[in-house]
Amino acid sequence: MNTLTPHQMRTDDFALILAAEECQPDAFDEIHKFSDHDRRLIRKLVAHGPVLLQGGRGTGKSAFMIAASREMAPHNPDSSVLGLYISLRYVPLLQATGQDYEMQFCTWVSRQIQKTLAGQSYNFEDSKDIRLLKNNLTELTKTTNKRVVLLFDDAAHIGRETSLASFFDIFRTLSSETISCKAAIYPGVTEFGTRFDVYNDASVIDVVRSPEQAGFTQLFYNIMTSRYPVLTNERVTGFTLHSLAGFLGRTVLGNVRGFVFACNDLLERAESGDTIGYNLLGDTLIRLAADYYWPLLDEVKPKLGRYVPAVDAAQQVAEVIFQACASNTSQSVLIHRQIVARYSKSFEILEYAGFIARREASRALKSGGRGPRFSINLCNLLERISGSRLTSSLFDSWSEGSGAPTEIHERGVLFDAIDIPHPNDSEDMEILGMQIDILEKSKSYPYGLTRNKINSLKEANIITVGDLANSSDESLLAIDGVGDVFLDRFRSVVGQAIWM
């Protein structure tokens, strides 16, 4: 029987952690690394003032929020600020609007605050409406003599406009001289309700990690060496571990979750004794395209409510972009703004899923007009390149990152075959009516449930994802073989399925 060394054990444990909110607090600092640029962003979350933290899936929003909360009390008792991290991923389904939404939201938030403050010397009362919640928070600032920062993670999602207006109303109302709200939102959240002025009521910060930033390669090297100590210079050939980390970071557009998936895949190959060279690395990129990026669109689709039609268009847009860039061997694409405007939601979905990352908002095209320039992920690009093989010259040229963008101008024909998607009338989420079988562990649901557990749920007459989401803790704990650990697992998986 093989025995894992302490290093290997750490690697195995950490490889499974794909989301900061799933990480045990004791291990957080060990595996979450930040550049100077990131540290500046975290300081903004600790400082007074409302902030919207915007970034696609896996860009590290949760890690930033948790890191900020750890700089404040109660984690850091010496701090003059009380930081309350509240993940809305696990909030019971909030399909209500107006006063109903407010009541459910405030009740839930006050309970989360009570949990965070458990063991402290001060109490926090139940709060059923915004007035009471604000009063109780103000009282908390007085009893603790600290100002309060509320960090709402997973706050706003594409396709949930109705509840978003209520959320941003609450966000604005809670903010005061001693209470600041910070919220993590996804790109594509454009509806903030009638009372919320995005530029005046908050600072919007884009979570961007681009290779041009100072410390980019070092950051990914630090992540790699802290999570995967078995990956050493002896395990690679043709390049150093440092350059591999920078290359992979660039490949996934600075997306930490994509980077972790890539490292996990490399690790599997390395564990079978292979040395990591160009061929093996290229294979990893191709697998990432097939098993991570494309399935993300399938996973997202049933969650998007009225924007479901934009997903099919997003897939076609992606295919056009990657093919065009492969033909020109370029790593970025400049698209006329009118094309982007026509398929705006599809572009937002591609940004969310990490296919593209906007680097410039308005750049001049040679053929006239202006448009945004997007960097594209290199896994899907390699897929489209003839032979799909990563050579040393391709590695070097992509590592340098130079080269002009491919231009797609307004009068071109590339987008002609893509129907312009129109939103559905209904905001209902298809995912809620889907059978819970879709939650079985798969490429789309790497966190998924085992077949046994799904069968147990079905025997308890929990048939759809909506049934599971709406089940009480008590009813789930009554199922044979389900204890607190599995209850958390169910909540986590259904949270991932419903939320973006």
Partner 1 sequence: MSNLSELICGKVIAGSSGNLAQSLWHMSTTLSLLESEFHNLKSRRSAISPLATPFFLRSIIEVSCTSLIARLDPFRILTLAKIQGQSTYDTTQKISGAIQWKGDVVADRAKELWSIKIKSNDMTRALLGDYQDEIFWKPAFEKLLDYLQMTGKVGKSSWLAELVNIDITSIIPFLRGLASTAYSKTSKGVHHEFVLSISSYYDDATLDQLTYDVIKLVATMGLVVNFAENSHYNLTNSRAITCYKAIEP
Supply the minimum distance, in Å, between the C-beta of residue 373 and partner 1. 9
Q: Which is nearer to partner 1, 328 or 392 (CB)?
A: 328
Q: Which is nearer to partner 1, 200 or 386 (CB)?
A: 200
Measured torsion, CA atoms of residues 170, 172, 178, 182, in degrees rounded to the nearest 10:
80
User: Of the candidates 345, 332, 417, which has an alpha carbon nearest to the alpha carbon of residue 375?
Assistant: 332
Q: Which is nearer to partner 1, 49 or 98 (CB)?
A: 49
Supply the minimum distance, in Å, between the C-beta of residue 402 and partner 1. 9
Q: What is the DSSP string of 432-491?
A: HHSBGGGGBSSSS-TT-B-HHHHHHHHHTT--BHHHHHH--HHHHHTSTT--HHHHHHHH
Supply the minimum distance, in Å, between the C-beta of residue 351 and partner 1. 12
Supply the minimum distance, in Å, between the C-beta of residue 314 and partner 1. 21
Residue type, 484: D
Residues lying near partner 1 in the complex (CB under 8 A) are found at 37, 40, 43-44, 46-49, 80-81, 141, 145-147, 177-178, 199-200, 203, 206, 208, 210, 212-214, 358-364, 370
Supply the minimum distance, in Å, between the C-beta of residue 270 and partner 1. 32
Give the pair of three-digit tokens for residue 72. 């404040």
Supply the minimum distance, in Å, between the C-beta of residue 263 and partner 1. 25
User: Of the candidates 497, 382, 364, 350, which has an alpha carbon nearest to the alpha carbon of residue 435?
Assistant: 497
Q: How far apart are CA 442 and CA 445, in angstroms?
A: 5
User: Of the candidates 393, 379, 397, 351, which has an alpha carbon nearest to the alpha carbon of residue 259?
Assistant: 379
* Long-range CB contact pairs, 293-299, < 8 A, 24+: 293/258, 293/353, 293/354, 293/355, 293/377, 293/379, 293/380, 295/442, 295/443, 295/444, 296/57, 296/353, 296/354, 296/444, 297/349, 297/353, 298/444, 299/444, 299/445
The bridge status of strand 370-376 relative to strand 332-335 is antiparallel
Supply the minimum distance, in Å, between the C-beta of residue 360 and partner 1. 5
Q: Which is nearer to partner 1, 341 or 478 (CB)?
A: 341
Q: Which is nearer to partner 1, 80 or 237 (CB)?
A: 80
Supply the minimum distance, in Å, between the C-beta of residue 126 and partner 1. 25
Q: Which is nearer to partner 1, 145 or 393 (CB)?
A: 145
Q: Which is nearer to partner 1, 175 or 380 (CB)?
A: 175
Sign, Cα dihedral of 252, 258, 262, 263: positive
Q: Which is nearer to partner 1, 173 or 316 (CB)?
A: 173
